[in-house]
């Protein structure tokens, strides 16, 4: 998945969780959030998306470093051929 899609899904998940937390507080449920199955599911989705976004950032950093190494190697080969 690409970064934009995950960020959009993350934003939607945050909105859904916030809306559900608002309804929980409005209902003044006696149970805590951790005991509510729907809240746990929404929170798990949010954590999953955050981890995916971190993984995408890691891949992007790795690819940028690899691209830089390739460019440096190509520049070194070109400089060596000119001598």
Per-residue pLDDT tens digits for 42-64 = 999 999 999 999 999 999 999 99
Domain count, the chain: 1
pLDDT at 47: 97
Cα 4 from Cα 1, distance rounded (Å): 9
Over its length of 83 residues, how does the chain's per-residue pLDDT go in tens digits? Answer: 689 999 999 999 999 999 998 988 887 766 677 788 999 999 999 999 999 999 999 999 999 999 999 998 888 877 655 55
Structural domain for 59, as ranges:
3-82
pLDDT at 68: 92
Both tokens of 13, joined, read: 């998940």
């Amino acid at each position: 998945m690409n970064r934009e899609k995950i960020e959009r899904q993350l934003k939607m998940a945050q909105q859904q969780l916030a809306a559900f937390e608002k309804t929980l507080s409005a209902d003044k449920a006696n149970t805590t959030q951790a005991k509510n199955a729907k809240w746990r599911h929404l929170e798990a989705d949010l954590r999953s998306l955050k981890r995916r976004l971190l993984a995408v950032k890691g891949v992007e950093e790795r690819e940028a470093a690899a691209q830089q190494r390739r460019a440096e190697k190509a520049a070194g080969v070109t400089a060596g051929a000119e001598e």
